[in-house]
Amino acid sequence: MNIGLPISNDVRPATPGPAANRAFDFRALLNTLVRHIRVIIALPIVLGALGYGVTKLLPKSYTSQTFMMIEPRRPGSVGPEGEFALVMVDSAKVAGVLTILESTVLLERVVTAERLADDAEFGAAPPGLVSQVLQSLPFLAQERAPAALETRQARAIAQLRRAIRVVRIGVTYIIRIDVTTRDAAKSQRLANAVVDAYLADQLEAKYEATRRGADWLRERLVSLRDDLIRAEREVEAVRAQYGLTEIAGGGSIGQQAMTELNVQLIAAQGEVANRQARLDQALRATRGSASLEGLNEVTSSSIINTLRTQQSEHARRLAELQSRFGPRHPEVQRAEESRRALEQQLGAEVQRIVAGLRNDFETSVRRRDALEQQVIRAVAEQQASNVEGAAKLREAQRVAEAAKGLYDSFLTRFNDLQQQVTLETVEARIISPADRRGAPSFPQPLPFVAGGIALGILAGLGLAFVLNQLDATFATARALEDQLGVPVLGTMPLIVRRDLKDGGKRLDMVSYVATRPLSRFAEGVRGVRVGVRMSNVDKATRVLQVTSAVPGEGKSTMAAAIAVSAATAGQKVIILDTDFRHLSISKMFAVRDNLGLAEYLVGDKDLAAVTSHRDDLKLDIIGTGAERRTPADVLGSRKFRDLVERLAGEYDLVVIDTPPLLALSDARIVAELADASLLVVEWRSTQADIVEQAAGLLRMSNGRFAGTILNKVDFRKMRRYGYGYGYGYAYGGYGRYYNLNKKYYTG
């Protein structure tokens, strides 16, 4: 059975470049939303509830609606034939109706009819803030003097203009009038009053316009009638002067003769055209390009019909003889001669018919020419007889006809206007009167609640991203790798007190790693060791430095855990405590505090005297000792360098716990002697700029920066960042897991 490393401890190569150069990470965005899901959910709920509460505090308004449809008629139309379906209504006319409905004249009519100047909502001036405060004080409250009627009238018109809203429904002829007030009954009454005022105004305007038009037409008709009488008298005077008396049936004698000649000429021209067409058809038939079947002369000729019958009989007999005797038989030859004789007779008859048609055509042409000459002579005689009188007569007749047409047109229009005066209607009607609505139109809970929820969602998302940007710590191993450019060799779980309980006693961290080899923490430490070994392929890592950027990140615990894990695996391990100010390793392994590294470096103690051994852990420890000289001077000495080289030759692994990098210079001195250096970073605690500064110092020390350890990770919270880390018998966290709290395996 293969025991795989936890996915959190898989040694991945460092990602080059800072995190800013990475492509857009949708998963990171989703994780940010999930991590702050409580804020994102809470804010919409709170703001939605706040929006609902606002609707209970705001003053309520009620809106009533009236629907009116425009029905324009053609000018002068009366009755159903003038319906609007017969004309086109343009948008300009509808826009004009909308403007009239909001005009001051119409609103003034409504204000006067409904006595809105005395209404507290319309005629009264809204009190200012100072006036409201003064009125709220009993000892300063005073009666406000009513304003003048003109002032209240103007206020009511302005307030009604703000309360009314006129809208055209799409591209139809329907107009909706909305009136909003603080009282439902008042809104209904005013909405109907606005439409009634418009209908009354239009009816009065049309009646007045019709009356003025009728008066003008009446005066104009008198003048046109006088003009018509004078024009007709002038016509009679011209006739009498030039002897152009009309005969019965209309016109003069000369005109009647000219008319008869023209009729005869037209008939002659038609006859010529008909006979020419028949002649042309016969000529084409004789040339073989047409048929004679359409000519009456051919179809009615008994000779041609007889010849065609004989021709058919000879053709039948010839065909019978040819089939019986052959083409050279004497009977066949005689039959051929008979057929040719019949064809010659038929052709001669056709030529006779064509000659007859040509004679008829020439006769009709001569008759037409004669009639044309008669017409020309008659016209010349008539023109010569009385040219001046005919011209004056025509001029007088044109004047009389124009005067009569103008008079008839004005008379018809006057009669129509007379009818419209009594039958005048408005080009609009109410299709839906205003009703009283029980629910207020403002404020409505749904828009406020929806707006609050939408604003809460936006605020929650914004706050989530702001919190995410303000969080300058490391929440994932990937973020740490992207920031520093080195691999994260281990992601160590947070160990709480209940994890250290073993029956009735409490374990320390050193014993925990040794007694819980299958725990997530112990497996993580083994992963760190594997990562260190893989990061240094040139030579074996003998000297390992463990440090951190600032105190409290758990670097001493990690150094001890690595040493215990390596010793448990069978390696010969020694751990050095070079943190002379905290003595964390010395206290952790309970070594003597009077003999240690300081006494060896500045005194005359030998190495065996300052080295402690733990048989249960198979581990050697060198504490700090009691000497408190300047650590930088001690660690920078030649004797310390020789000590490290000696221990590297005697032990498989030398683990050195050093002070934090940013606090002291000790860690940078030790980094020059180590084969590999590990930087411990506390999960979601240490600021990114501090960690980056510490990593820079570690690189400047000419040491081998092997990688980092993300320590004290709460894996349950870490799942909010989108990374599920687990340890088990299958790579990637699948399979069977060991529970640190319950001491059993779970599937």
User: How far apart, in whole angstroms, are the C-alpha atoms of residue 487 and residue 679?
Assistant: 11
Give bridge partners of residue 686 from the DSSP assignment.
Answer: none
User: Pick from 212, 245, 271: which residue ends a domain?
Assistant: 212
**Which structural domain range is residue 683 located in?**
8-14+485-746
Which tokens hold the place of 127?
Answer: 């009190």
Q: Would you mind telling me the total number of residues written for the chain in this entry?
A: 747
Kindly give, in sequence order, each residue whose CB lies less than 8 Å from that of residue 200, ignoring residues fewer than 6 positions away.
109
Q: How far apart are CA 272 and CA 269, in angstroms?
A: 5
CATH code assigned at 134: 3.30.1890
Q: Is residue 236 part of a domain?
A: no
Q: Is the pLDDT of residue 42 over 50?
A: yes
Residue 261 domain-assigned? no
Q: Is the pLDDT of residue 654 over 90?
A: yes
pLDDT score recorded for residue 739: 33
**79 C-beta neighbours (distance < 10 Å), count:** 9
Domain boundary among 159, 186, 212: 212
User: What is the H or E stretch that residue 682 is in?
Assistant: strand 676-682
533 located within any domain:
yes
424 CB-contact burial (10 Å; exposed 0-12 / middle 13-18 / buried 19+): middle
Give me the CATH number covering residue 592: 3.40.50.300
Per-residue model confidence as pLDDT tens digits over 390-418:
777 778 878 888 888 888 888 888 787 76
Q: Please identify, among 186, 212, 238, the residue that sits at the C-terminal boundary of a domain.
A: 212
Which residues, including other chains, have CB under 8 Å from residue 522's CB and lie 6 or more apart?
Answer: 512, 513, 516, 561, 565
- The answer to whether residue 503 is domain-embedded is yes
Q: Which residues pair with 176 in a beta bridge?
A: 67, 167
User: How many whole angstroms separate alpha carbon 568 and alpha carbon 672?
Assistant: 28
Q: Is residue 597 part of a domain?
A: yes
- Kindly state the DSSP code that residue 627 receives in the 8-state scheme: -
Residue 140 lies in a domain: yes
Whether the CA torsion 249, 250, 252, 257 is positive or negative: it is: negative
The answer to which of 7-21, 47-61, 325-339, 691-705 has the lowest mean pLDDT is 7-21
- Which positions ≥6 away from 561 have C-beta within 8 Å? 509, 510, 513, 521, 522, 525
Given this model, what pLDDT does residue 449 score? Answer: 85
Instruction: State in Å, rounded, how far the first CA of the chain is from the last one.
Output: 16
The whole model's pTM is what?
A: 0.47
> pLDDT value at position 253?
56
Range name among 4-18, 183-197, 664-678, 713-727 with the lowest pLDDT average: 4-18
CA distance 136 to 152: 24
Task: Give the range among 16-25, 295-304, 672-681 with minimum mean pLDDT.
Answer: 16-25
- Dump pLDDT digits (tens) for 438-452: 778 788 788 888 888
Q: Tell me what pLDDT residue 217 has.
A: 81
For the chain, what percentages of helix, strand and coil (3-state, to nearest 5) are there? 60, 10, 30
Alpha-carbon distance 536 to 259, whole Å?
Answer: 131
Answer whether residue 552 is part of any domain.
yes
Q: b/e per residue, 157-179, with b = 16+ CB within 10 A?
A: bebbeebbebebeeeebebebbb
The reply to whether 343 falls in a domain is: no
Closest alpha carbon to 176 in 191, 196, 162 = 191
Please report, as a single letter, which amino acid is at residue 77. Answer: S
Partners of residue 178 on adjacent β-strands:
65, 165
What is the spatial distance between Cα 440 and Cα 68, in angstroms, rounded to a whole number?
23
Q: In a 3-state reduction of DSSP, which class is residue 93?
A: helix
Residues with Cβ within 8 Å of residue 219, at least 6 apart in sequence: none
| pLDDT in the model for residue 471 | 62
**Number of folded domains that form the chain:** 2
Q: How far apart, in whole angstroms, are the C-alpha atoms of residue 662 and residue 338? A: 143
Q: What is the dihedral of CA 390, 394, 395, 401, to 10 degrees?
A: 160
